[in-house]
Structure 1
Amino acid sequence: MLNNKKYYEDQYPASLAAKHFVFALIWTFGASLDDQSKPRFNEFLIGLITLDWGMTSGGDNDDNEIDIKKDNQQDGVGGKNKTTSNQTNYKAASQFLTSEAFMQLLVSITFPRGASVFDVIINESNNQWERWASRVPVYKYDPQQPYEEIVVQTQDTVATTTLLNMLIKSHTNILITGTTGTGKTIVVNDFLHIPDIQDKSLFFQINFSAQTSAKGTQEVLEGRLTHRRSNLIGPPVGKQGIVFVDDLNTPTPEIYFAQPPIELLRQCIDQKGIYDRKKLTFIHLTETVFVAACGPPGGGRHEITQRLTRLFHTIGMPQVGTSAMTQIFSAIITGFLTNQKPALPQTVQELAKPLVDATVFLYNKACTTFLPTPSKSHYTFNLRDASSLVSGVLHASPGCYQIPLILVKLWSHEGCRVFRDRLIDDTDRNLFDCVLMGVLNKYYIRPEPDE
């Protein structure tokens, strides 16, 4: 964010510096938090910024000064200089906290009304807060684009993409975490395929699995990067290397819990190179950053050593909420139904909103109704399941989109295939049938077949 040279000159006001500090604070300490912890962090930080600090009361300051003197007295004669320095620093800080300039700084970094600290970014043109939502591009449906490649930007994906761009420019390694279905891989790949990033970088992807070995990982690194000298590898001169490691925590640990592929990555990042397996000489790695993605431990995923995670800036991808899910599927389904040639009947196009609302409601209902138990451990649903339902609806034969009732039946069929087929007993299946009927009665007006 501070790459602009103007920030090192006289036109860098204190109010903007304070905003930059708060923004960095949010996305350093708050970026790695899960969905349950972010509201608490938001409340804490806003309370910290708007806190009265007890500045009008001198008693607390005097007590603190006495405590500092008592602590410093333990330093003895040799600590006189330290005592004087601490007292001087404390008085300077105390005077600043009670000054009008500090109060003006607190006012200058006040967030927009009703906004979370995670909802805003600094607009560099006017140095004011603006919401991430204002930067979300309008999605334009492309009939020729495969469904699997569609990316509808939301506030969370725009925030993550912006942070990726900032961190990679500063040569920082990034670890993106989040539960299955939050779009970690899609967001990173979409970012890496931005034309400007493609022109300025050499990037490639390594997919880890339970069978991944350190040797295979090293061969990919040495094969894709350029050998500038016998002991130096990196991207072509003038470009930045970006290595995307997906499913970082899937390699199977050895008997003593070591994961060789992960230790190899740690060596690349921490020691800036790897050893030649034949000559046993050290090969230096230059101008290359690593972007990794992983889910929480469990189901074939393992704990990652902190010796590696300490080298990354961690960003937690939030769960896709109801509003974001509605935004995504509305763009896709509405674009699909309104861009068919020949044009579909108006009564079919009007089903776009009911289809989206019903899909989101059915997904949320399945998540809260059919919970995993030891005998039903596979009762776990994520955004991929809702996406599979929509994908099935959009890949039917053209005749299914001519009559509203047939389209509704198609949606019901795909919902059963995605959710009902996962249920293992008649009790759950009957309950799902009741849920499905409720959804149909709530969101669809049963249309009569066209004559």
Structure 2
Amino acid sequence: MAGSLKRENPNQNEDAVLISAMKDANVPKFLKDDLPLFSAIIQDLFPSVEIQEKQYGDLEVTIKEILADKDLQLHAPFIIKVIQLYETFNVRFGVMLVGPTGSGKTTCYETLQDTMTTLREKNHANQDFQTVKKIVLNPKSISMGELYGEVNQLTQEWFDGLASKVMRMAAQETGEDRTWVVFDGPVDALWIENMNTVLDDNMTLCLANGQRIKLRPEMRMLFEVQDLAVASPATVSRCGMVYLTAEEMGWRPFVKTWIKTFFKDENLFPEVCREHIQMLFEATIDVGLEFMRTHCTEPIKTTDLQQVTSICNFFEFFIDYDKGFKGSDDEKKKLVDCLFAWCYAWGIGGSLEQASKDKFDQVVRDQFKSAQIPSSFTAFDYYFDLKKEKIFKSWTFKVPNFVYDKDLSYFDLMVPTTDTTKYQFCMETLLAIEKPLFFTGASGVGKSAVIANTLANLKEKGNIMPININMSAQTSSPRTQMSIEEKLEKKKRTLFGAQPGKKIAIFVDDINMPAVEQYGAQPPIELLRLFLDKKGLYQRGEWAWKDVEDTTIIACAAPPSGGRAVITPRFTRRLNMFCLPEASQGTLSTIFSSIMKGFLGTGFAEKVRNLEEASINSTIEIYIKIQEDLRPTPAKFHYLFNLRDVSKVVQGVCMTKPVSIQNEDTFMKLWVNESFRVFYDRLINDEDRTWFKDLILELISKNFKLSCDKETIFDELKFGDLLKLDSPVQYYEFISDKNKLIKTLHSGLDEFNMSNSNKMNLVLFNDAIDHILKIGRVLKQPRGHIMLIGVGGSGKQSLIRLVTYMRGMDFSQVELTKGFNVDSFKEYIKGLMKMSGIEQKGISFVMTDTQIINEAFIENLNNLLNTGEIPNLMLPEDKDEILNGVRPICVERKIIDTVDNINALFVNLVRENLHICLCMSPVGETLRVRCRQFPSLVNCCTIDWFSEWPPDALEAVAQKFLADVDIAEDVRSSCSQMVQLFHTTTQDAAEKFKNELRRVYYVTPTSYLELISTFKALLDKKRSEVLALKERYASGFASLVDTEKNVMKLQRDLEDLQPKLVQAGKDTEEKLVKVMKETEAADVVKQKVASEEADAQ
């Protein structure tokens, strides 16, 4: 830098050149407080050198002209920053414009762009002033492949990314025009490292396909960032730096510009009013902001400029609303005081927690005594009646009366309160002038309900078209963009927006849920920030810019905690922030008493109606106490109770009919049952369950004033409509005849086994029957979804199959095959949605944790649970099929068959008929993580925790599975007790093993069934071995008997032959004597002959 300055000014003193270079390189990046220190150091190093302040002449003059043309303020610190940016651009190819949100970074480079372009249009002699074109992109709103380009894995074809396409086009330009590529987003090592060759002397972008794009010297890389916390030193050292602070800018330039811009018409807003409102800003804003930052709490932090902007936004609405001020100057000032007081309270205090609002109320009153805000309540409890009386009135005057409509869906019931009325008014006010909003507050306070109800009312009036986006940990930037684009209408080649005469409100729920990347960025949020700032989007693939008009964003999220991240202030700064308070006990009582009173007034007995107050107060008391005493822990991650749970209890009570609840005792049992189903069923241990039972008994005695048998009341909690499934009218009732219930369930099981090849060998012990009733209760409810949590082999899927069959519904479950992926899953879901929405079939869709091979499955289910639809699921041909299929249903229900109405009815039918049943295992941390990342799993599902099988259930199962074993009854009973004892003692040993060695050994129902099966197999084996030995011994014994018989026979034969043997012996002896005699005679003859022969010789 010093070298280039010396070459430009060869006659200048080298010390002076060096000082100028150091100042140019360092002053732009220093904070205001550090500048005197830097100047002192320079003075110490070069005490004898005096540097004349550099004069910028036409540049500075033109900057001021541009600011004046834009009605911006000639704020000296800001003008200096524009000049510093110009100087830095002259010596650096890459520049980082750093500063907190609201410090004027964007306005800074846009002002410099317009200044340089204007000077070139005037043919300025300085050739450094050339026409400037800028291209703005957010590098974190897209993936690395979409940013720099990538090879398609299927076709092996190269596709340019946004940055590579932009730089390629800019590098191919000719002429002297300057091109600035503005990277408006977080700088981190994930993407900026690829820019190192761009930012060094090579000025070359190297792509993954081997291409090298040589950039022109006329180009510049500008990085607009909030901070450099995760930027690498290698990148930072290659860039120039200009730092802007929000403190230097402050809020005053914005207010002056706002007054000058919006109040030009003297007739609409007289000079006296303009001066008065400027005075009010000067007198009150700093006091309010200081008090808020010091003594108040915001769930989501805001900036000073953001709060002031909110005040201005509210005031804009009232100015347009009134169309002018009349009367004397004092009357006009008084009116401005009142309006400003209300805007001041909500602009600064709207983002505060309720306790802080109460504190801030006093500041409002102290600053605006002339407004005469009534003192009965806080300033937030009044609105200013601008139409008629021009005074502050209580919001209660604006709260409409609630009338219960029995034909209306429970989910369409909205009981207006002062809180809902005031926040709906704020929302409608800001939407009318197309200002974005952000609603925060604890989970379950009614944020989504207020927004949805307001949008529904505005849609009914025909001027708002809502787009609902529900976010989770798996929400991606492309999916968010597709959710927006599919509802937009093309107006021109590059212009999109709402239908003629309408505006679009994009409702983004759980906006802080998307997963945070390694260095803290959230791509979906960065995409929405780009959309909010630049009023448009890049079309993915082609990377052509599309302008979007008549569109506003409404964000909603609970405060950061757990899986909820802190959203970048650069996004939230653009939104008007509101914190909804948790409803007081009185407000809750008003809401749910209105519904309960209306419901019980549809034909229930008077003595039942008299228990309305007791049931509501008891439910609210449970909610308050369970929040205080049963806090979530890693093992109890689902102990997340909110107002939705109170609503679910009331919804359950509203499933009954007057004919089934005819006395106080039955109604009390109904209330206990619904409280158990909502709160008790998710408890995981006996200690918590005992605590809950004691609380229920206390409330029955205190509020219901009824006596009950403490030993049996909880065993009698059996409600359902399973006994009425064959009746024309099915209703939720108390089941007093347990034997009849068991008989019905066995009959249903037998019918199932007869009609299905996959037979179920179920044992309907008491716990299993209770789970069946719990599942049946949920499947009866519209939007009824259930999450069954239990170890493998608990019978979760089998019980759902049985209940689904008995209710005449379709059972659906994905079959994982080779190549089954996210697209396959979405096609499967699409089929289910068509069946439930067009054919109106009741469907139980069962999903187990082992079938979730991709977290995107849960993302789709999360959307389905929350809104009843999945973004970008339906193709044009699917939409035509839905229109043709649902239109007759619209006609039948006397609904005007517009496209919007048909689509809305389709979604409602899907939510009514498609029931998601999740079967999850609590083993490991997978479920805990998923519940944190996907809030709808807890918020939109009834949770049923499957505990260990009790001893009686274990024995019943053993008896069932040993029934086909050929043993005596007493032996079978002993064997059942034996295997039950084996299992329970093993469970105890496993628990001890875990406590002492911190190692987990799982003893599951599957283990128990395997034990019984092993026993039966071993018994069969041993019996076969004994039988084989028995047969072997019997065969040997038979052989011995045969041998003995043969021996005896031979002996008898010998005895029979004995006389003959004796006679034969005698005959033989006689013959032997005879032979001997004959032999002797022969020997005599032989001797005689021999003698004669001798003589003859």
Sort the TM-score into its range (normalised by shorter chain).
0.7 to 0.9
SS of alignment partner, residue 358 of structure 1: helix
- Which of 326, 333, 341 is residue 22 of structure 1 equivalent to? 341
Aligned twin of 1:234: 497
1:152 aligns with 2:415: yes
Distance between the aligned counterparts of 2:506 and 2:415, measured in 1? 24
TM-score, with structure 1 as normaliser: 0.81
Displacement of 1:202 after TM fit? 2.4
Equivalent residue, structure 2, for 1:391? 651
Let me know the Cα RMSD of the aligned residues.
2.0
TM-aligned CA deviation for residue 312 of structure 1: 0.4
- Which stretch of structure 1 is more off in the superposition, 353-362 or 189-198? 189-198
* Counterparts of 1:212 and 1:231, CA distance in 2: 26
Shift of residue 8 of structure 1? Answer: 4.3
Q: Which moved more, 1:2-11 or 1:260-269?
A: 2-11
**163-172 vs 345-354, which deviates more?**
345-354
Query: Paired residue for 1:39, among 354, 358, 368?
Result: 358
2:606 to 337, 346, 360: 346
* Greater Cα shift, 274-283 or 194-203: 194-203
Q: Is the 8 A contact 2:440 2:579 kept in 1?
A: yes
Match of 1:2 among 319, 330, 354: 319
Distance 2:335 2:499 in 1: 37
Q: Does 1:275 align with 2:594?
A: no
Aligned residue pairs, count: 388
Q: Does 1:407 align with 2:667?
A: yes
Aligned counterpart, 1:84? none
- CA contact 1:192–1:198 (8 Å) conserved in 2: no
Match among 359, 379, 383 for residue 639 of structure 2: 379
- Select the residue among 556, 573, 576 that pairs with 1:293: 556
SS in 1 for 2:435: coil
Which residue is 2:693 aligned to?
433
Amino acid at match of 1:153: P
Distance in structure 1 (CA, Å) of the matches to 2:541 and 2:677: 53
| Superposition deviation, residue 399 in structure 1 | 4.2
- Give the partner amino acid of 2:477: A
State the AA in 2 paired with 1:162. F
Q: Following the alignment from structure 2 to structure 1, what is the Cα–Cα distance between the partners of residues 378 and 531?
A: 37
SS at match of 1:140: coil
**372-381 vs 323-332, which deviates more?**
372-381
Counterpart amino acid of 2:334? S
> Which residue pairs with 2:446 in the alignment?
183
Counterpart contact for 2:335–2:390, Cα < 8 Å: yes
The whole-number CA distance in structure 2 between the counterparts of 1:47 and 1:422 is: 49
- Residues 344-391 of structure 1: per-residue CA shift (max 9 Å, x gap): 221111111221222222222222232344554443321111111111
Judge conservation of contact 2:458–2:464 (CA < 8 Å) in 1. Answer: no
The answer to whether residue 428 in structure 2 is matched with residue 111 in structure 1 is no
Structure-2 residue corresponding to 1:122: 384
SS at match of 1:265: helix
- Where has structure 1 moved over 4 Å in runs of 4 or more? 8-12, 195-198
Other structure's SS at 2:462 match = helix
Residue 216 of structure 1, CA deviation: 1.9
Helix, strand or coil: the match of 1:263? Answer: helix
Larger radius of gyration: 2
What is the identity, as a one-letter code, of the residue corresponding to 1:409? K
Matched, 1:368 2:628: yes
CA distance in 1, matches of 2:409, 2:322: 43
| Alpha-carbon contact 2:605-2:658 (below 8 Å) kept | no
Aligned counterpart, 1:307: 570
Q: Which amino acid aligns with 2:422?
A: A
Q: Please state how far the C-alpha of 1:5 moved relative to its aligned partner.
A: 4.5
Identify unmatched segments of 5+ residues in structure 2: 1-317, 709-1097
The 3-state SS of whatever aligns with 1:7 is: coil
Distance 1:238 1:148, change over 3 A: closer
Counterparts of 2:325 and 2:433, CA distance in 1: 17
Q: Residues 101-144 of structure 1: CA distance to partner in whole angstroms, max 9, x if unpaired?
A: xxxxx34x122132111100001210111111221111100101
- Residue of structure 2 equivalent to 1:202: 465
One-letter amino acid of the structure 1 residue matched with residue 476 of structure 2 = S
Q: Which residue type is aligned with residue 159 of structure 1?
A: K
Residue 402 of structure 1 and its aligned partner are, at CA, apart by: 1.2
Contact 1:400 1:410 in 2 (8 A): no
**Residues 211-255 of structure 1: CA deviation (Å, up to 9, x unaligned):** 222112222222211111111111123322211111111111222
Q: Secondary structure at the match of 1:203?
A: strand
What CA distance in whole angstroms lies between the structure 1 residues aligned with 2:484 and 2:422? 29
Counterpart in the other structure of 2:547: 284
Cα distance, 1:196 vs structure 2: 6.4
Change (3 A) 1:233 1:360: same
Change (3 A) 1:158 1:411: same
Question: What's 1:71 paired with?
Answer: none
Contact 2:467 2:484 in 1 (8 A): no
Moved more, 151-160 or 272-281: 272-281
Q: In structure 1, what is the Cα distance between the partners aligned to 2:430 and 2:532?
A: 15
Deviations 1:54-101 (A, max 9, x none): xxxxxxxxxxxxxxxxxxxxxxxxxxxxxxxxxxxxxxxxxxxxxxxx
SS of residue in 2 equivalent to 1:229? coil
Alpha-carbon distance change, 327 to 197 in structure 1, aligned in 2, over 3 angstroms: same
Q: Secondary structure at the match of 1:401?
A: coil
CA distance in 2, matches of 1:309, 1:325: 30
Given the alignment of the two structures, is residue 417 of structure 1 paired with residue 677 of structure 2, yes or no? yes
2:377 is aligned with what amino acid?
A
Which structure has the higher relative contact order (CA within 8 Å, separation 6+)? Answer: 1
**Equivalents in 1 of 2:347, 2:621: separation in Å?**
34
Between stretches 134-143 and 360-369, larger displacement belongs to 360-369
Distance 1:371-1:222 versus aligned 2 partners, 3 A rule: closer
TM-score of the aligned structures, taking structure 2 as reference length: 0.34
SS in 1 for 2:355: coil
- Residue pair 2:352, 2:579 contacting (<8 A) in 1 also: yes
Q: Which residue identity does 1:27 align to in structure 2? A: W
Identity, % of aligned positions: 32
Per-residue Cα deviation, 1:257-276 (whole angstroms, up to 9, x for no partner): 22111111101110111112
